[in-house]
A and B are shown apart, each in its own frame.
Chain A
């Protein structure tokens, strides 16, 4: 356990309310998002997070620091969330590479490998995106991204949330979720590919609308 971790744990065990308060504020955004990957609504996710923290408080005495504090908390969260998710009959297996979602990027976008001139090259390349000029478009972009995240399989959703939305370094994500760096990266890659594809569809639709309006 790192020094800062052991200091924090000692403070928590002493009943240092400020330390606990900081810990909640620090981790809640991540916990909430990860919980939402497992259960059906934000309200339920909030309950799961509350239960998680209660589990943390109850378990503090027994926490010996063999894993990092974050890993331990996220383990409690995952257990709480999957139990709750299963109870809601939303089966959410959190195995790293189990969600086999095929090709997020349509293989038809590329020429075949035996093409005479351009094997494996883009056939239908990506169109550069117009930069939005006003806040309205930016808010719409956020909606597109939020929807895309919501539709991701739970493991992909969790990794992209912690890495890209919450900005955790890869090592911390691997530690908290107890997955290998390689697995974590595969999940991240699939998730990012899907979110980018959603943005592409959005931009294509916008430009088509503009073209017909002129």
Chain B
């Protein structure tokens, strides 16, 4: 029976994203969690990754300026129009 090799710190940091995406195989996940439980540095690193991701999620959304949005809606209105199947501009290829 082969023994599972211990996961070392340098390898663990490469697996953090897979771990957080729940993409590790069960034995890899177990080795990951075992090491984090025993290694203070890796515990700190994992926590910092989580903080980083949370901070990314807190960035305020980018928005189009109001006038740009209005122009877009006006274009949509004029292009598609309220009537189904209405003929478009003559330059539209069929």
Binding site for B on A (CB under 8 A): 12-15, 17, 20-21, 24, 28-29, 32-33, 36, 46, 49-50, 53-54, 57-58, 60-61, 105, 107, 110, 113, 119-122, 125-129, 141-142, 145-146, 160, 164-165, 167, 170, 185, 188-189, 192-193, 195-196, 199-200
Residue B27 at the A interface, CB < 8 A?
no
**B79 cross-chain contacts in A, Cβ below 8 A:** 57-58
Taking a contact as CB atoms under 8 Å apart, the answer to whether A126 and B41 are in contact is yes
Closest Cβ–Cβ distance, residue B49 to chain A (whole Å): 6
What interface size band does chain B fall in? 35 or more
B14, B45, B68, B72: which has the most chain A beta carbons within 10 Å? B72
Partner of B77, one of A17, A113, A145: A17
Q: How far is the CA of A34 from the CA of B53 in the complex (A)?
A: 18
Q: How far is the CA of A88 from the CA of B73 in the complex (A)?
A: 28
Q: How far is the CA of A90 from the CA of B58 in the complex (A)?
A: 29
**A57 cross-chain contacts in B, Cβ below 8 A:** 75-76, 79-80
A110-B10, A142-B55, A192-B53 known; A28-B75 Cβ under 8 A:
no
The A interface is mostly helix, strand or loop, or mixed, namely helix
Taking a contact as CB atoms under 8 Å apart, the answer to whether A126 and B45 are in contact is yes
A50-B68, A145-B56 known; A105-B76 Cβ under 8 A:
no
Partner of B18, one of A12, A146, A185, A193: A185
**B92 cross-chain contacts in A, Cβ below 8 A:** 61
**B1 cross-chain contacts in A, Cβ below 8 A:** none
B55, B63, B76: which has the most chain A beta carbons within 10 Å? B76
**B37 cross-chain contacts in A, Cβ below 8 A:** none
The chain A residue sitting closest to B18, CB to CB, is A185
Taking a contact as CB atoms under 8 Å apart, the answer to whether A185 and B21 are in contact is yes
Q: How far is the CA of A105 from the CA of B13 in the complex (A)?
A: 9
Closest Cβ–Cβ distance, residue B32 to chain A (whole Å): 14
Taking a contact as CB atoms under 8 Å apart, the answer to whether B52 and A189 are in contact is no
Residue B65 at the A interface, CB < 8 A?
yes
Residue B40 at the A interface, CB < 8 A?
yes
Q: How far is the CA of A121 from the CA of B8 in the complex (A)?
A: 6
The chain A residue sitting closest to B13, CB to CB, is A105
